[in-house]
Chains A and B, each alone.
Chain A
Amino acid sequence: MLDLGTGDGAFLERLVRARHVTAEGVEKDPDLVARCIQRGLVVHQGNIAEGLDQYGDQTFDCVLLLGTFQELISPVEIVREAFRVGRQVIIAYSNFAHYGVRLQVLFRGRTPVTKSLPQVWYRTANLHFLSILDFREFCRQLGVSVIRQDCFNAHGKAVILPNVFAAEVVTLLESYIRKLNQT
């Protein structure tokens, strides 16, 4: 597995220890890279916005974009790169169409600050605000299909009307363009 924007490696370490997967992380901050090394992880200091040229095609079973997706300047290029080096991609993002967000905009008239979007607009690292419907459209444009989607809010799994009630979304993606090429 390849974990993009692995931070201090806490999540990746849990994954490696609990599931015994062979995994490595990419992180741009040298202090966080040092913490990953401290945890015994294989880690690469690099900026994912500059591409993943260090990895050959189809090196990984799965590429993770868990805390970083909305901070990427050009998500299209990075998702394409992720599908070049990996077979499947898991992306996590915050749903901007969650009812709490909708209510804040409607009644307060301010840019929302929620549990999932905890920073004010001038301090947030998130560049992109999207809903589940937006993400589906994004996948269609890229030729990527959503194999599995899990939605969460403060109460646990959000099953009913996820585009309204989900705060966080985790999706497992596969590229059907590659599949078409293979068959």
Chain B
Amino acid sequence: MKDPPAGILQGDLQDQKIAGYQSHLGVTRTQSVTFHGVQVQSGFTFDQVEVAYQTLGTLSPRRDNAILVCHALSGTAHVAGLHPETGRPGWWDFHVGPGKAIDTDKFFVVCSNVLGGCDGTTGPLSTCPETGKPYGMDFPLVTVRDMVEVQAKLIEHLGISQLFAVIGGSMGGMQALTWAVHFPERVRVCVPIATCVSHNAMQIAFNEIGRRAIMTDPNSNSGKYTSDRRPNRGLAVARMVGHVTYLSEYAMARKFGRALQPPVNPAAADEALFAVESYLHHQGESFVSRFDPSSFIYLTKALDQFDLFGGKPPDEVLRRAQARFLVISFASDWLYPPAQSRELVRLLKRARVAATYINLETLYGHDSFLIENPEFANVVRHYLGNEYRNADFKEAGAAI
């Protein structure tokens, strides 16, 4: 495995400030749209669902260049550019922008906050119209399929009948896969990254540790907490565990090693001695300031219950897909290990779906798609570029 070139930032853009970071997109804004009468798989019907979303680039006259970017567990609609209030770059600013892997000069990029999230789309924090109070734990269980159904409404609202591509990592990859099998005629290219067709016991176990940390926080009050007494400590612990699973041993050794955190006081049992401890505390606190504990519970539940095939034979489900696939995994990802992506590819190929697969040797674990990553960016840029050109040729050919 190769070391990354010097000067590459080792970290994602969500919870760390990068001094002097500049986005090529400048300030980008999030918009909102409301849909009425939205039924979810559990049977519950929302009177209204608000969806926060961002669009970047320009929709072509033929409306054939739209790419839906699906975010992961802790992501938001703010995919790239600088946030108008906080000034922070979007979570995928490394890879979405002019000339980047997902080129906003070429493509019309849409990213929306998922149903059950806490960044503007209806979720447990939203006010229930019947009680006038936040839903909290009365929010219905939502699934990845529900998230995708809401995205489909948004895409229709934007006047797009077919997406050129759906792309996402981790939970975003599950959404991309769901799009390809439930709206086969609306997706040309599907790019699931570091994801799986269903969680294994280890993935469920880590999520349950997070959920237990929140539910056993004295402030949680079985989920009926108020905004001034939130189970923040539980959420911070959940994020600490989660964050470790997103990294790799190499990433942590390189970033922290056994470096000490000043002021060094080896005699104090209740203080962070090592830099890695202090870093995790910071990650936890930073997450609490932007994420809702009940959203964390609902979204991790959706992840654990995700099953692309829903008990049906994989072959039968995947044969429906009309998209061409690019499946990407990372050799150092131990949370969504490459074997899960290989299994997805095996099932796709056995269903005679065109699938390209690459297992990148990026050393930074599950987070490898969120960090600055030239190999990853190259693969995505070329794949999308080639597929877009080919689709163009085919259409031109059909017209003649």
Contact = CB atoms under 8 A, between A and B. Distances in A.
Interface of A: 24, 30, 33-34, 37-46, 53-56, 59
Given A34-B375, A34-B379, A38-B378, A43 B356 contact: yes
Contacts of A24: 354, 356
Contacts of A54: 342, 345-346, 349-350
Contacts of B345: 44, 54
A56 B382 CA distance: 28
B243 interface: no
Contacts of B326: 37
A111 to B, nearest CB: 33
Interface in B206-250: none
B17 interface: no
A126 to B, nearest CB: 26
Contacts of B390: 40
Interface of B: 324, 326, 342, 345-346, 349-350, 352, 354-361, 375, 378-379, 382-383, 386-387, 389-390
A33 B389 CA distance: 20
A56 B345 CA distance: 12
A43 B355 CA distance: 8
Given A40-B390, A54-B349, A55-B350, A45 B359 contact: yes
B349 A56 contact: yes
A45 B326 CA distance: 11
B378 A34 contact: yes
A40 B384 CA distance: 9
A44 B344 CA distance: 12
B349 A30 contact: no
Given A37-B379, A37-B382, A38-B378, A59 B352 contact: yes
B357 A44 contact: yes
A42 B387 CA distance: 11
Nearest to A40: B386
A30 B357 contact: no
